[in-house]
Amino acid sequence: MRDGNTIAVHRYGAGGVDQPLLIMVHGSVWHGMKFHGLAKELATQADVVVLDLRGHGVTPHRRGDIDYINQFEDDLADLIKATAQPNQKVVVFGHSSAGGLVVHFSGDEHGEIIDHAVLLTPFLKHNAPTPAKIQEDRHMYICDA
């Protein structure tokens, strides 16, 4: 990451520009390996990267903490820039609270580095219906169980 810290990353599939890069982001109190089975299956169709968000996973630098607001977004941008091949489509998959992270990421300064977003039961706000604007966006796919 840009501050010199590392995060755990697991990569599935051969990769390359002929398959999209799929970055899978877990929700709070989870870690990336919760996606292991799904990532293995998706790796037949995509170059899959699963990460442990900063402060999460087996051996985080500092459990449950970040240094500044939007550090998750910066970490995600750094990961994409480090793993995406030139001209490779980038899809970011966010589950639960990471769905909110992906919505924020796609609308901020880093949004142009992704092509699509998939939100699985996104947590956007404790009492908010999923905004219609997001549902209408052709680049964002919502799976709400």
Q: Which residue has the higher pLDDT, 111 or 57?
A: 111
140 three-state secondary structure: strand
Q: Which residues pair with 119 in a beta bridge?
A: 94, 142
Res. 136: pLDDT tops 70: no
Distances (CA, A) of 48 to 32, 54, 84: 12, 19, 11
Domains of the chain: 9-143 (3.40.50.1820)
- Residue 126's pLDDT band (cuts 50, 70, 90): low
Look over the chain and give the mean of its residue pLDDT values, rounded to a whole number: 84
- Residue 133's pLDDT band (cuts 50, 70, 90): very low
pLDDT average, residue stretch 65-90:
92
Q: What is the pLDDT of residue 47?
A: 96
Q: What is the pLDDT of residue 34?
A: 92
pLDDT average, residue stretch 72-93:
95
Which DSSP category does 91 fall into?
E
Distance CA 88, CA 38 (A): 21
38 three-state secondary structure: helix
Residue 96 and residue 121 in contact, taking contact as beta carbons nearer than 8 Å? yes
Question: Among 141, 71, 137, 78, which Cα is nearest to 113's?
Answer: 78
Q: Which residue has the higher pLDDT, 129 or 13?
A: 13
Q: Which residue has the higher pLDDT, 126 or 98?
A: 98
Question: Among 26, 66, 68, which Cα is nearest to 50's?
Answer: 26
Distance CA 44, CA 19 (A): 9
Q: What percent of the chain has pLDDT over 90?
A: 51
